[in-house]
Amino acid sequence: MKEKPEGIPVHTVIADFRDPKHGADLLALMDHYSRDPYGGGEPLADVCRRELLDRLAEFPGAFSVLAYRGDEPLGLTNCFMGFSTFQCKPLVNIHDAVVHESARGLGVCTLMMEKVVEVARERGCCKITLEVLQKNLPAQAAYRKCGFKPYALDEEFGQAEFWQRYL
């Protein structure tokens, strides 16, 4: 396990999509994630480099959490507000969770998730959801440490699966 560098604490902020530093750090972390085998293994698409920040800034209910050690970006979560019809309350879905490989094992994920919980509580949310690949065991361990678990209404009927259809 990596040791936390002394004297420079890790902190989190809600990203300002129009701030040049936040924007550059968000795109760099998204590219880092995109190049990882669990993120697809390819560089971030050019269209995302050009348009992602403006689109996030304009998208209702979008917010991101950035984690820093000093000015060094270590992690990112991209979140979107949703709604639970069964609880009749808003929810937060974490769409992307990134911890730079140089910072894994330092508690960055936990700090970012705590910030997401803070925002979710402020907004009256009933839960936070996320998706994780079945074989991404390190991410699953980090999420379990933060209180997440696979979703099931009734264990008899099994766990929910995340499906998609490209358009």
Q: Could you give the domains of the chain?
A: 10-157 (3.40.630.30)
165 φ/ψ sector (left φ>0, alpha ψ -120 to 50, else beta) = beta
Residue bearing the bigger pLDDT, 152 or 120: 120
121-165 pLDDT tens trace: 999 999 999 999 999 999 999 999 999 999 888 888 888 888 889
Q: Taking 80 as the threshold, does the pLDDT of residue 51 lie above it?
A: yes
Beta-carbon contacts of residue 164 (< 8 Å; ≥ 6 apart): none
CA Rg, the chain, in Å?
16
9-27 pLDDT tens trace: 999 999 999 999 999 999 9
- DSSP-derived 3-state class of residue 63: strand
pLDDT recorded at residue 57? 98
pLDDT recorded at residue 153? 83
- DSSP-derived 3-state class of residue 48: helix
For residue 69, which phi and psi values (nearest 5 degrees)?
-120, 105
Query: And the tokens for 130?
Result: 């996320």
